[in-house]
Amino acid sequence: MGTATHFLRLVNILKELESTSSRKEKALKLSMFLKELPKDEISPSVMLISGSIFPDGSGQILNISVKTVSKVLSTCKQGTLDSSPLTIKGLYSQLVDLASLNGRGSKARREVALSSLLSRASDVETEYVSKILQGELRIGLADGLILEAISKASSIDLNTIKSTYGLTGNLGETARMALIEGIEKLKNICLKPFSPVRPMLAGTAQNLEEAIRIHGRTSLEHKLDGVRVQIHKEGYRVEIYSRSLSKITQNLPDIVNLVQSEVMADETILDGEVVGVDSEYRPIPFQDLMRRIGRMANVHESISKIPVRLFLFDILYLDGRSVASSTYEVRRQQLECICSKGMLTPRIVTDNIAQAEMFFEDSIRRGHEGVVSKNLSGIYTPGQRGKEWLKIKKADTLDVVIVAADWGSGRRFRWLSNYHLAVRDSHRETYLKVGKTFKGLTDEEFEYMTVRLLTLKVSENDFTVKVRPEIVVEVAYDEVQKSPHYDSGYALRFARIKKIREDKSPREVDTLDRLEEIYEAKFKRKARSTWNQH
């Protein structure tokens, strides 16, 4: 065992990364730091750097408000010469202990523990501990950069590192295994029931023609407006996980019963979507469904108030073995063997544009969002977004994150109701604004959002509250325009909120690259239209 690494060393690395513009240089500097660490400091260091103390799906949170941090900072004394220095392992361990303080009097105990922790920190260390506690490091963009650094530090190819992270959902554990146990350990990590994996994600196609050009003969399926679920079954035991890997079994006892009685497999992991429906089995608005999944306390009452349907579209594991590396065509056949047709997403297999358009319109008529095109020869890649799956939607929408909000005027004066919207710049690890909107939400939702946003407050100036970028919303818009008013260089014209996406994390919002693609595609369409007129 070597000397414990001081937290100040990690702070200096973070400061270096902040002042480095090149992504390649950032990954190199971070990889060198990781290689220098003692074995038992790799995982806690990576978690602290990512700004997330706990991995996705752990169910654990720090539960320390911005108000509490500010109060403690205003009263505690900074580290003195005779106080023991803060170490990486020591800090991480104390933050984990802080999260475990619950029950009566826990708020006061957390304040005392936090004050004791910060009293050992220097000014610059306090600044970065505060950033971690307030979520200012957890911007949701750094995962890709950290994975690149792990790849460089371990000399293991990036795809293997990404695959491991997709299977574990844990950056710290991915780094530890890669740097200490090597590629053989990573290759032996496999799917198993009740260890949820990060879901595979779809890219976007502008239209059906583009999807068929990329995939050729393809599987077209209804794009559902529901909540993504991963269902694990072993014998009679069934667990359901959200896209963020949180266990939501208790919210969906009706789906548990359905899987127990209708899925003809002893062991399996299934991917699908839960959709809220009305009395005529038409889809209900996403926000109503989220009341069932997230916020309604009386689950049994909610079953009758908000009935749901399960649609399955993929299988990852079947009776003792992973099938994720089988082609999609094979996986779909396996799914059809163990589930009734009514449990599966409707689909057609075609390369005919006319057939595809008819299927697309049928999806829209049924109240869905559009279709997803799936490459028949594609494998399932947990946690990765690519062109193996392509979504095509009727309306132009983007997933964006709220980075600030203005207090309203007139009837809305009591609410934070004008939202500053941002996409992510995946190259510079930051969020860039693309506009504001106050349109699309009900009074009840304005009130709910105000409460949520105030818990995320970082600072307040005049009528604007800056917040940690955590709340994802789906916005519709008329077009993407060039704009000098926003740091992205673009603006969404007539943006309005369609949904509060509580099932999505900030790292899943659309990118600046995606915005540029949309703008360029529009420019090309206008050019073709002008040419055709001549």
| Whole-number Å distance between alpha carbons of 132 and 128 | 6
- Residues spanned by CATH 1.10.3260.10 within the chain? 7-187
**Section 507-512 average pLDDT:** 91
- Residues spanned by CATH 3.30.470.30 within the chain? 201-391
Task: Report the SS3 class of residue 142.
Answer: helix
Per-residue pLDDT, 524: 59
CATH of 397-521, picked from 3.30.465.10, 2.60.40.420, 3.40.50.720, 2.40.50.140, is: 2.40.50.140
Per-residue pLDDT, 529: 44
| Whole-number Å distance between alpha carbons of 390 and 212 | 10
Q: What tens digit of pLDDT does each residue of 293-334 get? A: 765 557 777 787 889 999 999 999 999 999 999 999 999 999
pLDDT band at 338 (very low <50, low <70, confident <90, very high): very high
pLDDT band at 77 (very low <50, low <70, confident <90, very high): low
Predicted confidence (pLDDT) at residue 137 exceeds the cutoff of 80: no
How is domain 7-187 classified at the architecture level of CATH? Orthogonal Bundle (1.10)
Q: Is 223 a catalytic residue?
A: yes
Helix axis angle, 88-99 to 123-133, nearest 10°: 40
**Assigned CATH for 201-391:** 3.30.470.30
Predicted confidence (pLDDT) at residue 525 exceeds the cutoff of 70: no
Give 191's DSSP letter: -
Q: What tens digit of pLDDT does each residue of 386-407 get? A: 999 999 988 789 999 999 999 9
Predicted confidence (pLDDT) at residue 185 exceeds the cutoff of 90: yes
Q: Which single residue is written with the structure tokens 């299977």?
A: 167
8 A C-beta contact, residue 142 and residue 429: yes
Strand ranges across the sheet with 237-241: 237-241, 227-234, 267-276, 308-318, 321-322
Better pLDDT: 412 or 429: 412
Q: What tens digit of pLDDT does each residue of 346-367 get? A: 999 999 999 999 999 999 999 8
Predicted confidence (pLDDT) at residue 342 exceeds the cutoff of 50: yes
Secondary structure of 407-464 as H, E, C letters: ECCHHHCCCEEEEEEEEEECCCCEEEEEEEECCCCCHHHHHHHHHHHHHCEEEEECCE
Q: What tens digit of pLDDT does each residue of 198-257 get? A: 999 999 898 999 999 999 999 999 999 899 999 999 999 999 999 989 899 999 999 999
8 A C-beta contact, residue 395 and residue 402: no
8 A C-beta contact, residue 497 and residue 474: yes
Q: What tens digit of pLDDT does each residue of 33-57 get? A: 999 999 999 999 999 998 888 887 7
Catalytic member of 26, 162, 223, 457: 223
- Percentage of the chain beyond pLDDT 90 is 61
- Residues spanned by CATH 2.40.50.140 within the chain? 397-521
**Section 438-458 average pLDDT:** 92
Task: Report the SS3 class of residue 235.
Answer: coil
Per-residue pLDDT, 2: 61
